[in-house]
Amino acid sequence: MNNKALKKLRKLIRVYPELYSNSDIREVFLKKLSYFGYLSIKIIDSKFYMFSNGDDPIVQEIFWFGVDTYENTSLKIWSILAKQSKNMIDVGAYSGIYSLAAASNNRKCKIYAFEALDRIYYRLLLNKMVNKFANINTYNLAISENKNIKDLYVYSGETILVTGSSVIDLNLDRDIYEVKKVNSISLDLFVNEKNINRVDAIKIDVEGAENSVLQGAKEIILNYSPDIIVEILPFSLIDNTHYIFSELGYNSYIIDEENCKIIREEFLTRSDGIKNLNRFLTLRSEKELIDIFGKDFLF
């Protein structure tokens, strides 16, 4: 089915959303009816493009069901933060939606985007080039607690933009397709080497390796108090992570993607792996958050 036919079908299902509330029907749209080409995406005030060769699940999700169905609240928080940021770090950038959203909303903000798996990194690079975003700096590196060579566990073949790759062997019920050797660096060392004198926000999506990333970013967190959006899965190794933030006075919020809200939690918790996977960590008071985001948006 060509893209013109796909767009006609998309118009139909947007009128009848109950069609894709069924998980089996939704699966058909996402995996059997692939969109090929460049997709225009608008978040907050700015637009950018992402390419899919029928292989990017993020582009597929947004094409069929709309931008509001993919990490809607997290992307809006990130984009609003970008408007007042000088430097942002995107760890586990994948094909780049967070980096692209930040870059489009503030052309003066520098975004440092890290993707460990080479074939996904090339798509990230393509999306940067297509949008002519000179303020995105891309690195084919893993982020961990130190500078080293890591094993990256990959779960799909080379023709697929696989999700879920991790430097942690999580012993999940999935077959490992390959184990690749990748270079890693800590954020503290990277920021020091690049002479970056301020970090305003960090996004982390590393499939269970969050503790390793954060252990290697202690100096950044201590010196710059960045706002942090982090995906926390049911198997994430976060037992030591809570103490990093509680000792510094950070507040933890569950990001409610569907209702554009954040929900305060006493301490950092794991998600159920089904919805609301991201957490928002910040030193900002509720008043400051309302001033930035507006009461109706997040509270």
The DSSP code sequence of 68-101 is GGSSHHHHHHHHHHHTT-SEEEEES-TT-HHHHH
- pLDDT surpasses 90 at 196: yes
The pTM for the full model equals: 0.93
Residue 62 CA from chain centroid, whole number: 15
pLDDT at 159 over 80: no
Q: How far apart are CA 139 and CA 187, in angstroms?
A: 12
The whole-angstrom separation of Cα 51 and Cα 70 is 16
Tokens of 168: 């942690």
Q: What is the pLDDT of residue 19?
A: 66
Distances 178 to 57, 75, 91 between C-alpha atoms, Å = 20, 31, 22
Binning pLDDT at 50, 70 and 90, where does residue 171 land? low
At 24, give phi and psi (nearest 5°).
Answer: -70, -45
Question: What pLDDT was estimated at residue 170?
Answer: 65
207 close to 143: Cβ distance less than 8 angstroms: no
In whole angstroms, give the CA distance from residue 267 to residue 213. Answer: 19
The confidence score (pLDDT) of residue 248 equals 85
- pLDDT tier at 29, thresholds 50, 70, 90: confident
The per-residue b/e assignment along 59-91, b for 16 or more CB within 10 angstroms, e otherwise, is bbbbbbbebeebbbbbbbbbbbbbeebebbbbb
Using the predicted structure, report yes or no on whether residue 224 has a pLDDT greater than 90.
Answer: yes
Candidate ranges 10-24, 138-152, 158-172; pick with highest mean pLDDT: 138-152
Q: Catalogue all structural domains in the chain, each as residue range(s) with its CATH number.
A: 65-298 (3.40.50.150)
**Mean pLDDT computed over 118-135:** 96
Task: Give the Cα separation of 286 and 288 in Å (integer).
Answer: 5
Q: In this predicted model, which residue has the larger pLDDT, 242 or 58?
A: 58
- Give the C-alpha separation, 213 to 197, whole Å: 19
Tokens encoding 65: 């069901």
The mean pLDDT of the chain is 89
Both tokens of 86, joined, read 């000088």
